[in-house]
Amino acid sequence: MSGFTYATLTQAILDYTEVDSNVLTSTITDDIIENAEFKILREIPIDAYKKQSIGNLVTGQNTINVPAKTLFVKGVQVYDSTSASTGNNRWLEKKDESYLQEYEPSTESASRGQPKYYAMFGGATGVSDTTSGRLFLAPAPDTTYTFKIHYEAIPDGLSSSNTTTYISQYFPNGLLYACLVEAFSFLKGPIDMLTLYENKYKQEVQKFAGEQLGRRKRDDYSDGTVRIPIPSPSP
């Protein structure tokens, strides 16, 4: 199956459900596509949406903003200098916010140092927000260390103004089946059709997850060539 554009996916949803745009209007199909995209994003970490954000801590300030449209934070590095190109770096340990409050009950200068721990709290409250929450650091920084946040971003979805996406081009069948599950649920269609596309979606997710979490995490040099056992008939 070739990749979808916004127009071809919208038409495919109408064709598979055998209805027209008077039943599934563009507003409805846009919601169907968006719901399907979020379903995929929350089930499979996708390499294409891994991002990094670099900045400098503020002396004595034990919180920093998470980049806008962050789905989840994968890790945080803090460099022992004010530049990511020089100095050593430390990966912070993720802890519960209550642990950090106990570790650092105050932000007095005596308790400052290079951060060792982080916890995430808060979240976005609107589409115009420039942050997706905050990170609580402990101890509070004693200088303007450089930090780097590794995170999974929420990409721009498929729309009339964004006609292709990574998912629509490289996971088109999974996106289609996810859309059809949403469409038949909306239409209150036959349960057998809903079950059919739910199962098809699950099958494609397993394959895509095997690629994203398996094959893309290894190489032949260090891990060896993947060998699939093939049963042979008994003599």
Indicate whether 232 pLDDT > 80.
Answer: no
Banded model confidence at residue 202, pLDDT cuts 50, 70, 90:
very high
- Average pLDDT in the 13-20 region? 96
- Average pLDDT in the 8-16 region? 97
Distance CA 235, CA 230 (A): 15
What pLDDT score was predicted for residue 208? 87
Pairwise pLDDT comparison (101 vs 203), residue with the higher score: 203
- Provide the β-strand partners of residue 121: 134
Indicate whether 150 pLDDT > 90.
Answer: yes
User: Residue 188, exposed/middle/buried by CB under 10 A (0-12, 13-18, 19+)?
Assistant: exposed
Banded model confidence at residue 29, pLDDT cuts 50, 70, 90:
very high
- The sheet with strand 131-138 has its strands ordered as 63-67, 131-138, 117-121, 93-94
Distance CA 133, CA 124 (A): 6
Cα–Cα nearest to 145, from 54, 19, 39: 54
What pLDDT score was predicted for residue 80? 86
Average pLDDT, the chain: 87
Indicate whether 1 pLDDT > 60.
Answer: no
Distance CA 10, CA 23 (A): 13
Q: Is residue 52 within 8 Å of residue 149, measured between CB atoms?
A: yes
- The sheet with strand 146-153 has its strands ordered as 50-56, 146-153, 70-79, 89-91
Domain boundaries, the chain: 6-46+156-216, 49-153
What pLDDT score was predicted for residue 228? 64
What pLDDT score was predicted for residue 33? 97
Distance CA 107, CA 57 (A): 14
Determine how many CB atoms are found less than 10 A away from the CB of residue 92.
Answer: 21
Q: How many residues does the chain have?
A: 235
Pairwise pLDDT comparison (82 vs 164), residue with the higher score: 164
Q: What letter represents residue 68's amino acid?
A: A
Q: Is residue 145 within 8 Å of residue 59, measured between CB atoms?
A: no
Best-predicted range by mean pLDDT among 26-35, 66-75, 108-117? Answer: 26-35
Banded model confidence at residue 212, pLDDT cuts 50, 70, 90:
confident
DSSP sequence for 145-211: -EEEEEEEE-PPPPBTTB---HHHHHSHHHHHHHHHHHHHHHHT--HHHHHHHHHHHHHHHHHHHHH
Indicate whether 222 pLDDT > 90.
Answer: no
Banded model confidence at residue 130, pLDDT cuts 50, 70, 90:
low
Whole-angstrom CA distances from 14 to 109, 114, 190 are 63, 56, 16
